Chain A
Amino acid sequence: MAEEMRVVLRNYGKINPLKITDYLSVGGYEALKKARTMTRKAVIEEIIQSKLRGRGGAGFNTGQKWAFAHKTQDDQKYVICNADEGEPGTYKDRMLMENDPHAIFEGMAICGYAIGANKGYVYCRGEYPHLITILKTAIYQAKQHGILGDFDIEVRTGAGAFVCGEETALLESIEGHRGEPRIRPPFPTQKGLWQKPTVVNNVETLANIPVIIDKGAAHFAAIGAPTYPGTKILTLTGDVNNRTFFEIPTNTTIREVIFEFGGGIPGDKKFKAVQIGGASGAFIAANSLDTQISFDAMSAINSTLGSGAVYVLDETRDIIDVTTRIARFFEHESCGKCAPCREGTARLHELMWKLNSGRGSAKDITLLKKLGRVMSITCLCGLGQAAPTAILTTIERFSDDYEAKLM
């Protein structure tokens, strides 16, 4: 029986998030103190050695990212905590911010020390208004205790745009512009917020940092899958008995997640599909259930781990209907900057709607595949590139369902 392992959620339920003394009593901010006794390079090297990879979805090596920002010379640098948690079905960042905000700030302050930044922003999604108070209270307490030193943290909120979770759109939003992605290069670590070197890390990524500094890279690297070590918080929704969250090592399989942690499908119904990573994620069929919840294992089956949302469908569900709704979501959330996403997401939805209402033909499926293929390689940012994923994977893996709905 696989077991939960609470690394990121180490203080969940154990401390009062509004009392910094609670966090301090469980060893909080010790890692920051330790980091500040190390050289900047040594801190970055420790993170690189831990092989920690971004938990927001892109899976980029966190230490490498820090190293790039460290290397870029500038008088001002920034650390940004990406808390614009927008993937439907994902609430891991909310859990962390609600229960252990200081773990995130500690991670940010360590990053700030490592790259030479004295200013941090938490960019929190606008739909989490209750978190703003928690975050601000916690920042106030940390400042009162003088723990952050010269590292300042400020909370900024989004206005409800999904795309602002994309790191460059997030930067635009903080700067007060339309939330739209930027062209890369330059990357944020070269020219980020206000054109200054900036590290943007996900909430979950940052909450891992104090543990790595505290217990060492080797300890962390030994957990879970070797190329994507550590744990991952998964949030289970849909047709599972335990619709809740779990933190598990990354070598746990999807089958274990659904049938052991999730307690299987209610009503003794059969499993049909699971979408992992939110609306941007691929639909996975029963034949891939033994895949590990790690970035590379998921890539190997042409799927993604994404944010860690696990959305289970039982045999009674209409996958075409579900996919149509996802297409509508992307049409609504496209920022409108680049042509293939702006026009493409609307057309994907239009075609899916046609198929879903029984008016589609095989030609429409062919067109969807072609359009999806083009969008996935030409759109400006991850939103547009991932917009056709659910459609392309369901056409590939659940073709019978499409056939059944043809006119």
Chain B
Amino acid sequence: MINLIIDGIKTSVPDGSTILQAAQKVGIHIPTLCAHPDRNVKSNCRICVCEVEGSKLLQTACSQPVFEGMVVKTRSPKVIEARRIILELILSNHPQDCLNCIRNVNCELQHLAKEYCIRENPFKLKTKGLPKDYSTPAIFRDPNKCVLCRRCVETCTIIQGVGALGLENRGYHTMIVPSMGKNLGDSPCVMCGQCIHACPVGAIGEVEYIDELMEAIADPDTIVVTQIAPAVRVAIGEEVGMKTGEMPMNKLVAALRQIGFDYVLHTNFTADLTIMEEGHELLQRLTTGGILPMFTSCSPGWINFCETYYPDLLDNLSTCKSPQQMFGALLKTYWADKMNIDAKKIFSVSIMPCTAKKYEAFRPEMNASGYQDVDIVLTTRELGRLLRLCEIDFDKVEPSEFDPWMGDYTGAAVIFGASGGVMEAALRTVYEVVTQEELKDVNFTETRGFQGIKEAEVDLNGTVVKVAIANGLSNARKLMDQVRAGESPYHFIEIMACPGGCIGGGGQPITRSNIKREERIANIYIEDEQCAIRKSHENPEIKMIYEEFLHEPLGHKSHELLHTHYHAKNKRLI
């Protein structure tokens, strides 16, 4: 242990700790901007500078290791002066556009400006005047607002292994730019949106579709139907002042009705359906010598990644559409018929924890219903904005249930939201289909948790099926490289583009730390436990759709509506 004094407080911390860690221990807050709890120390912004006795230079608390007898001052006039000047410098190169900004009141720079009483900036405001990049339907960039903390670059390169963002130019002209192209659309960006979580300001955000929604709601001839993904519920509370997982589903359904949705359905229904189709596809591949390992296909960021970086492995991908797109295709066919509604009048809205889903909905092949299957996709954050916009008071909301035919779901669908969930749900069904025996314990705990790569084995009537699960695309790379080299021991691989799975999706409430992701995961499994039915094939509405409409998994109708094919992206890569 190392003994030191911070602002007069004696403390001791383990060797190798930084000043920032030591200060946290004694409850002293040191402001930061480029620091991120789950990322490397960059020490770029210099906001966290402190005085260390014996040093002429100020030292950054994020990077400076403590030493025996160290005396630190974190709030001396010299330190405050330095921090204010640095903040004024950063602010002088940042559009004073807070009122219109997607991160208004949720911006680390704005917060610092408030903390440090920045009033009249002595430096003349000079911004870059560059156009915003709206080249993708999912994510926009505003290079003018970038404060060059580089958290996005690090996330994209190290956590996601995508490398869509890089640095260009030098000094005052330094910019973060999409690599190998002028805009994000040309870059290898997979639209996972993890950079949005990394960004401390409003330089990257989701493309919003709130106006389109409001227009549809306002039109009396349009029937607005929504599907809501399982990972949304556990996180949406964070947007409206509740704890993670605290939002009751039935209150959320009621709130959606108050906002003006005509029908509220659940993506969980097609999550269960995905298990039916994907589970049978796996069995087919296992029994007929098909291409293995099979990869899950419900994470559109992962699909983009595979199409970009592993086009040679596209045949390993399950042909199942994601639950969102299965839902979209069925909504304007099966459901419209059941409800006796003209499919033309349906405006299909999907509420997702995901930014890549926005892109997925716009894929040209996603029109199996004869219309665009999903018209717009809103993120959890946009839902939060809608709830605030409509001033929903959850204390007074009367609970409400999902509308019929595509609103019923099982615990197996709920866990789709967490990394390993699709695998577990599939195993619950596949086990019973193959063995024709009841699965005594539905909990496959090896598939759960936040670690990047997990693996498990299941004995199906004497056949040992090896499975692996990766979350975060740099982890996916490890498994993919193994497959490419012909060395993969697995039969089935689940991949989720985002760390932790959909609960950590690019459209979720801004999370600075993985602890939040773990809380959300815990809540997903609580919800699963509370479900009366926890196996997809036991969902009564699923049974019904096969009886009435689809007839059998992987059947003719399924192929028409629920399965798809993939295309190599042929992008320039670094």
- Chain B: which residue is nearest A379 at the CB level? B46
Query: Are A336 and B45 neighbours in the complex by a CB distance under 8 Å?
Result: no
Q: Does B486 contact A (CB under 8 A)?
A: no
| B45 surroundings in chain A (CB, below 8 A) | 338-339
Beta-carbon contacts of A5-44 to B below 8 Å, as 1s and 0s? 0000000000000000000000000000000000000000
Partner of A336 from B63, B147, B172 at Cβ < 8 Å: B172
Contact residue among B41, B49, B148, B167 (Cβ-Cβ distance under 8 Å from A378): B49
The chain A residue with its CB closest to the CB of B93 is A343
A342, B92: Cβ atoms closer than 8 Å: no
- A161 adjacent to chain B (CB < 8 Å): yes
Produce 1/0 per residue, B58-76, CB < 8 A to A. Answer: 1010010100000000000
Task: Report the minimum CB–CB distance from B446 to chain A (whole Å).
Answer: 35
Let me know if A377 and B86 touch, CB within 8 A.
no
A178's closest neighbor in chain B, by CB? B167
Contact present for B44 and A338 (CB under 8 Å)? yes
Whether B171 pairs with A346 at a CB distance below 8 angstroms is yes
Does the CB pair A342–B63 fall under 8 Å?
A: no
User: Residues 327-339 of chain A: 1 if any B CB is under 8 Å from the residue's CB, otherwise 0?
Assistant: 0000111111111
Q: Which residues of B contact A185 (CB under 8 A)?
A: 65
In the bound assembly, the distance between CA atoms of A225 and B380 in angstroms comes to: 69
Q: Does A367 belong to the interface (CB within 8 Å)?
A: yes
Number of interface residues, chain A, beta carbon within 8 A: 30
B440 CB within 8 Å of chain A = no
Other-chain contact of A374, B47, B65, B82, B172 (Cβ < 8 Å): B82
Point out which of A183, A343, A345, A346 has the most chain B C-beta atoms below 10 A from its C-beta. A343
Digit string of A314-349 for contact with B (CB within 8 Å is 1, else 0)?
A: 000000000000000001111111111011111100
Whether A350 pairs with B124 at a CB distance below 8 angstroms is: yes
Is B172 touching A367 in the complex (CB atoms < 8 A)? no
Cβ B123 vs Cβ A345 within 8 A: no
B299 CB to closest chain A CB (Å) equals 31
- Shortest Cβ distance from A401 into chain B, in angstroms? 23
Contact B46 A347 (CB under 8 A): no
The verdict on A389 contacting chain B, using a C-beta distance below 8 Å, is no
CB distance from A326 to the nearest CB of B (A): 15
B533 at the interface (CB under 8 A from A): no
Bound-state Cα–Cα, A367 to B89, Å: 12
Asked if A385 is an interface residue, CB under 8 A from chain B, the answer is: yes
A370 close to chain B: CB less than 8 A: yes
* CA distance in complex: A336, B173 (Å): 8
User: How far is A183 from B41 in the complex, measured between Cα atoms in Å?
Assistant: 9
Residues on B with C-beta less than 8 A from A335 are 170-171, 174
In the complex, the chain B residue whose C-beta lies closest to that of A344 is B89
CB contact under 8 A between A338 and B172, given known A350-B124, A370-B85: no
| Cβ 8 A contact of B170, one of A334, A339, A374 | A334
Residues of chain B lying within 8 A (CB to CB) of residue A183: 41-43, 60, 63
Given A178-B167, A378-B46, is A339 in contact with B86 using a C-beta cutoff of 8 Å? yes
Check B43 against A380 for contact (C-beta < 8 Å): yes
Any A CB within 8 A of the CB of B169: yes
A367 neighbours in B (Cβ, 8 Å): 122
Mark out the residues of chain B between 155 and 190 whose CB falls within 8 Å of any chain A CB in the assembled complex: 167, 169-174
Q: Specify the chain B residue showing the minimal Cβ separation from A161.
A: B170
**Cβ distance B81 to chain A, nearest Cβ, rounded Å:** 7
Instruction: Indicate whether A134 reaches chain B with its CB closer than 8 angstroms.
Output: no
CA of A334 to CA of B82, assembled, Å: 19
With A347-B123, A374-B85 already in contact, the answer to whether A338 and B170 are too (CB < 8 A) is no
Max chain B CB contacts within 10 Å: which of A340, A346, A374?
A374
The answer to whether B43 touches A338 (Cβ under 8 A) is yes
Tell me, in angstroms, the Cα distance from A345 to B122 when the chains sit together.
15
How distant is the Cα of A378 from the Cα of B89 in the complex, in angstroms?
13
Q: How many Å from the CB of B94 to the closest CB on chain A? A: 10
The answer, yes or no, to whether B90 is at the interface (CB within 8 Å) is yes
Q: Do B43 and A331 touch across chains, with their CB atoms under 8 A apart?
A: no
Contact call A370/B89, Cβ cutoff below 8 A: no
List 24 interface pairs A-B (beta carbons < 8 Å), by A numbering. A178-B167, A183-B43, A183-B60, A185-B65, A332-B171, A333-B170, A334-B171, A335-B170, A336-B171, A338-B44, A338-B45, A339-B47, A339-B90, A339-B147, A342-B148, A342-B171, A342-B174, A343-B89, A347-B92, A371-B85, A374-B82, A378-B58, A378-B82, A380-B43
| A-binding residues in B (CB < 8 A) | 41-47, 49, 56-58, 60, 63, 65, 78, 81-82, 85-86, 89-90, 92-93, 122-124, 147-148, 167, 169-174
A-B contact sample (4 more), CB < 8 A, given A340-B85, A346-B172, A347-B92: A339-B45, A342-B171, A343-B89, A371-B89
